[in-house]
Structure 1
Amino acid sequence: MASEQEIRDALSSVLVPQAARSVTDLNLVRSIQVGDGKVKVTLASTALSDGAKEWVASHARSAIEGMPGVKEASLDFVEAAPQEINRIRHSVAVMSGKGGVGKSLVTALLAIALNRQGHKVGILDADITGPSIPKMFGINSHPGGSPSGILPVQSESGVSVMSINLLLPAEDEAVIWRGPLIAKAIQQFWQEVLWGELDCLMVDLPPGTADAPLTVMQSIPLSGVVIALTPQDLTAMVVRKAVKMAKTMNIPVLGVVENMSYFVVPETDKRIEIFGKSRGAEMAEVAGAPLLGQLPLDPELARLCDEGCIERYASEAFDGLARSFVDTLMNGKGQT
């Protein structure tokens, strides 16, 4: 007779329609009872439409009935809120004191870094009025779900993404909302989206220290923040603001990432600091956290973002950033 773990393993092959993730990845399996050749499985119906429930039930029974010693398989559904189902190990917000520093780019690259190392990753795009995550990942489909929850959209490599742009009729539709509505949308993305089991949820914050970043820091149990910056004199002031906000909210600063740090001339491999001398090490000291990496101005990266193919990006600088971030996050090296 198959064991409970063997049955759970079999259920890992049952994908949820529109989610492209299994019932086990989404943590929908509530209980498994085994005895006398009979198997009874209880799944949460969270975010599943009637059609999706029928599909999942049929394929789950088929997966179980084909196992040794199983004479009868039954399956039931129970209601549960997404927050009861979600199991998120780490939540990391990427913030900046000002706009235009490449915060969303850094968010995307850090998520890709984790994904490439086999971790289950999601991105919550909290930049409600300026969402760019879906564009970089080439995602234009709408989220699925039901009245009980929302299913995030999967990227090409399997990163779960939820963004306001995925709910709009067109990607260039403006979101003209006041602070309370923006805050409510962010809370819904956290509370009503079925993220399932994730090793890390990356949160792309809007710039500054106003309502939206505050809502995230108060609503989501963050493991830490990563601060994105560029090498300009103005950086010092805005980084200090971001650091002070994180510390006021008792959230660790995991590290800083300097974007647009330099440009490499293709013909000579010479580095040119277009925006001035690097401030990365200095700002890392201000933040009391490590300098995770310095990203160059890379035309190839810009091209891939424009084409929605950021997941195909590879470079020596990105590899270094990836190693530093994953090591810092998984080994708890962030500082408060």
Structure 2
Amino acid sequence: MTVIDAVKTILTEFKPKFWQTDLVSAGFVKQLTLEAGELKIEIVLPFAGLGWQAMLQEEVEGRLRQLDGVKRISWQWHTEVASMPRAANLPAIQGVRNILVVASGKGGVGKSTTAVNLALALEREGARVAILDADIYGPSIPIMMGTRKARPVSLDGKLMEPVEACGLASNSIGYLVSEDDATIWRGPMASKALAQILHETRWGEVDYLVVDMPPGTGDIQLTMAQQVPTTAALIVTTPQDVALADALKGVAMFNKVNVPVLGVVENMSYHVCSACGHHEALFGTGGGQKMAEQCGLRLLGELPLHIDIRQHMDDGCPIVFRSPEHHLSLAYQKLARSVAASLYFSAKPVATPLFTRQLDD
């Protein structure tokens, strides 16, 4: 066996959760050479996953250095986020490769908090990300991202420029009308407003557009689900039975309009005491896993309940943006990697990406 063959064997053993195959078999390893003692490894991921680099190097670098002739290792990581199929083959939004809809069967489960921190985490994982606040009746993105007074502008009289919020392009009905006006709209008016914001915003080149949907499963949610060229939906729930029952309705709603549900995110899985760090399952345990198994879905992540998460949102500076290395932020990073990998492996890409971002040399 040659040294390169040995390297391939070692790399083949790296197969994280939510990956359907390994680096080598998936074709992610683009270059593998050994010259003058320098082992060069180039890896291109078709989904966001900067965090996988540290995991891979920690797991295999020691073994690679033990191979004959290997004196130095040069890692090159790139991301070329693939465009995945859209529900009902709806026309794509200009420049937007994938649309991730974050939904819930009921309010109060932390859907918007999850959507915002997930979007920020995907950006930290090496993707270009934007966020759309589709919660017409209760837009919260302007509050959570500290942009309540922002207003989109139009440079050409046709398209709105998105509002920059915590480094992300964003748009929301909350930027355009007062909260009182939005809450009294009828369904058709709300749906039309969403369609305008979605299609008349100059999003630019975006790997993932995260859409924060309104809670519930009524006519307005159905109409919105049918209008948005969704790549996949995420269902946010808490472990308690009443939330799980409503989350099941959310899955049924997306199934009705043929929007693929990528998986379940269990929010408030456990409470972390700010004084001592003790973990306590206030709302029960295992509910999200049980629901995922019942629906044939993946449990993509379990997120904690902590006062810091709430406080940062109220301050208009989400924890993933304010303190990206905080252990609470790392939970969202883990979720982002799971979501991005699961999305890629869920179907066959439909197009070649338009740009490449180099992550590390």
What is the TM-score when the length of structure 2 is the normalising length?
Answer: 0.65
Query: Are residues 300 and 173 of structure 1, via their aligned partners in 2, closer, same or farther at CA, if it must alter by over 3 Å?
Result: farther
CA deviation after TM superposition for structure 1 residue 322, in Å = 2.2
Q: Which residue pairs with 2:95 in the alignment? A: 87
Q: Give the 3-state SS of the residue equivalent to 2:215 in structure 1.
A: coil
- Percent same amino acid among aligned pairs? 44
Amino acid at match of 1:242: G
3-state SS in 1 of match to 2:107: coil
| 1:115–1:267 distance in 2 versus 1, CA, 3 Å | same
User: CA separation of 1:102/1:267 partners in 2, compared to 1, >3 Å: closer, same or farther?
Assistant: closer
| Superposed counterparts of 1:226-265, under 5 Å | 226-265=234-273
1:325 equivalenced with 2:357 (yes/no): no
Moved over 6 A (4+): none
Q: Tell me if 1:166 matches 2:175.
A: yes
Conserved 8 A contact 2:125-2:333: no
Q: CA, structure 1 residues 249+84, in 2 after alignment: closer, same or farther (shift >3 Å)?
A: closer
The partner residue of 2:294 within 279, 283, 286 is 286
CA-to-partner distance for each residue in 1:227-262, whole Å, 9 max, x for gaps?
000111112321221111111111111111111111
Counterpart of 1:78 in structure 2 is none
Alignment of 1:47-86 (within 5 A): 86=94
Letter in 2 for 1:218: Q
Does the 8 Å contact 1:128/1:164 carry over to 2?
yes
Contact 1:259 1:296 (C-alpha < 8 Å) held by counterparts: yes
| Cα distance, 1:117 vs structure 2 | 1.9
Structure 2: tracts of 5 or more residues without a match: 1-90, 349-361
Of the three residues 215, 219, 242, the one matched with 2:223 is 215
Query: Contact (CA 8 Å) 1:88, 1:197: kept in 2 or not?
Result: yes
Alpha carbons 2:93, 2:199 under 8 Å: kept: no
- Deviation (angstroms), 1:333: 6.7
**1:298: Cα distance to partner?**
1.1
Where does 1:85-234 land on structure 2 (aligned, <5 Å)? 86-139=94-147, 140-145=149-154, 146-157=156-167, 159-168=168-177, 175-234=183-242
CA contact (8 A) 1:88 1:199 kept: yes
Distance change (3 Å), C-alpha of 1:138 and 1:261: same
Distance 2:306 2:188 in 1: 37
- Cα deviation code 1:9-37 (max 9, x no counterpart): xxxxxxxxxxxxxxxxxxxxxxxxxxxxx
Q: Deviations over 1:130-188 (max 9, x none)?
A: 0111111111311011431111101132x1111011113x5676531111110110111
Say if 2:136 and 2:182, in contact at 8 Å, map to a contact too.
Answer: no
Q: Distance in 2 between matches of 1:153 and 1:162?
A: 6
CA deviations on 1:93-146 (whole Å, 9 max, x unpaired) are: 111111111111111111111111221111111101101111111113110114
Alpha-carbon contact 1:91-1:221 (below 8 Å) kept: yes
Residue correspondences, number: 250
Deviates more, 1:185-194 or 1:84-93: 84-93
Task: Give the aligned partner of residue 310 of structure 2.
Answer: 302
Amino acid at match of 2:174: N
Q: Structure 1's 296 and 238: CA in aligned 2 closer, same or farther, altered over 3 A?
A: same
RMSD over aligned CA atoms reads 2.1
> Match for 1:207: what amino acid?
P
- Could you list the per-position Cα deviations for residues 25-56 of structure 1 after superposition, in whole angstroms to 9, with x for gaps in the alignment? xxxxxxxxxxxxxxxxxxxxxxxxxxxxxxxx
Structure 1 spans left out of the alignment, 5+ residues? 1-82
Cα distance in 1 between the residues matched to 2:236 and 2:93: 32
| Structure-2 residue corresponding to 1:44 | none
* Residue type at the aligned position of 1:327: A
TM-score between both structures, scaled by the size of structure 1: 0.69
Assess, with a 3 A threshold, how the Cα gap between structure 1 residues 152 and 274 changes in structure 2: closer, same or farther. same
C-alpha change, 1:85 and 1:185, in structure 2 (3 Å) is closer
Q: Which amino acid aligns with 1:156?
A: C
AA in 1 matched with 2:306: D
Three-state SS of the structure 1 residue aligned to 2:269 is coil
What amino acid is the match of 1:305? M
Q: Which amino acid aligns with 2:294?
A: V
Q: Is the Cα contact below 8 Å between 2:274 and 2:306 reproduced in 1?
A: no
AA at the equivalent of 1:328:
S
- Cα distance in 2 for partners of 1:113, 1:329 equals 15
